[in-house]
């Protein structure tokens, strides 16, 4: 579904991304992980066309995306730190999202339930808590019928109990055939939700693949995602 090849992003003399690529199949969830400043958000912005790229390409269903209009038709997007217009109520936000080619009615209703949006419909967006804003923003991104959903730190506002329903909502959209790419700061969350992982450090790809592939790259026969993450980053530091 989504193929990203050799993305390069520079700002002045600084290289934010240096030849980064990955792919996401229909129904697959990709977690982009890495330390702070690794280039995770910059990568999402480059894929979306929100940040100028100096090299590389983005394809969806085999077709190159060149214009912002082409990207808008391919991607649904939830930015980090969701902000909603305070003068609107949640019902207006939901109505606007569903007017932009919504997913199947049964899936949309399931998302409403799992993300707890129905109980918030009459609330002004300006009075919502951080978690409530995130639930509404996530609903809007997931309910829009696009082949690829891109989420920047979608899980950071939720406690472990809430995450069960949030993970279920994301997985149901993936099960419907969408490709989902998410930056995830907490490795425990990434391990629970993702099929494959892209590990970035200093704007470069350190490892790519499922947990078994990351373990193999790290030289670990067993271990958690965090074990592989730490081993790969420590090896990179020693080699620098």
pLDDT tens digits, residue range 92-130? 999 999 997 999 999 999 999 999 999 999 999 999 999
Mean predicted lDDT score pLDDT of the chain: 94
Q: pLDDT band at residue 236, thresholds of 50, 70 and 90?
A: confident
Distance CA 117, CA 129 (A): 13
> What's the CA gap between 124 and 140, in Å, rounded?
16
At 211, phi and psi to the nearest 5? -60, -40
DSSP bridge pairs for 209: 197
Q: What is the pLDDT of residue 105?
A: 96
Q: How many helices (H) and strands (E) does the chain have?
A: 9, 10
Of the chain, the percentage scoring pLDDT greater than 90 comes to 92
Going along the chain, which residue ranges are E strands?
A: 2-11, 14-24, 29-33, 55-60, 63-64, 75-78, 148-152, 179-183, 196-201, 204-209
pLDDT over 80 (residue 238): no
Residue 51 banded pLDDT, cuts 50, 70, 90: very high
d(CA 161, CA 159): 6
The full set of domains in the chain, from first to last, is 2-87+144-239 (3.40.50.300)
Residue 240's pLDDT is what?
62
């Amino acid at each position: 579904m989504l193929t990203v090849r050799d993305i390069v992003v520079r700002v002045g003399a600084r290289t934010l991304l240096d030849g980064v690529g990955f792919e996401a199949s229909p129904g697959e969830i990709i977690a982009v992980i890495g330390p702070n400043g690794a280039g995770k958000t910059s990568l999402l912005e480059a894929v979306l066309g929100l940040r100028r790229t100096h090299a590389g390409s983005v394809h969806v269903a085999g077709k190159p995306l060149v214009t912002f209009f082409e990207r808008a038709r391919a991607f649904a997007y939830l930015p980090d730190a969701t902000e909603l217009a305070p003068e609107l109520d949640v019902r207006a936000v939901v109505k606007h999202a569903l007017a932009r080619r919504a997913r199947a009615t049964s899936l949309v209703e399931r998302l409403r339930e799992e993300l707890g949006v129905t109980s918030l419909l009459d609330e002004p967006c300006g009075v919502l808590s951080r978690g409530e804003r995130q639930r509404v923003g996530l609903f809007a991104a997931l309910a829009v019928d696009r082949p690829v959903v891109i989420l920047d730190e979608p899980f950071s506002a939720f406690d472990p109990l809430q995450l069960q329903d949030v993970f279920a909502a994301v997985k149901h959209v993936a099960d419907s055939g969408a490709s989902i790419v998410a930056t995830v700061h907490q490795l425990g969350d990434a391990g629970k939700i993702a099929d494959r992982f892209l590990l970035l450090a200093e704007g470069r790809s350190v490892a790519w693949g499922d947990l078994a592939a990351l373990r193999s790259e790290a030289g670990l026969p067993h271990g958690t995602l965090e074990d592989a993450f730490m081993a790969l980053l420590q090896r990179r530091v020693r080699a620098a």
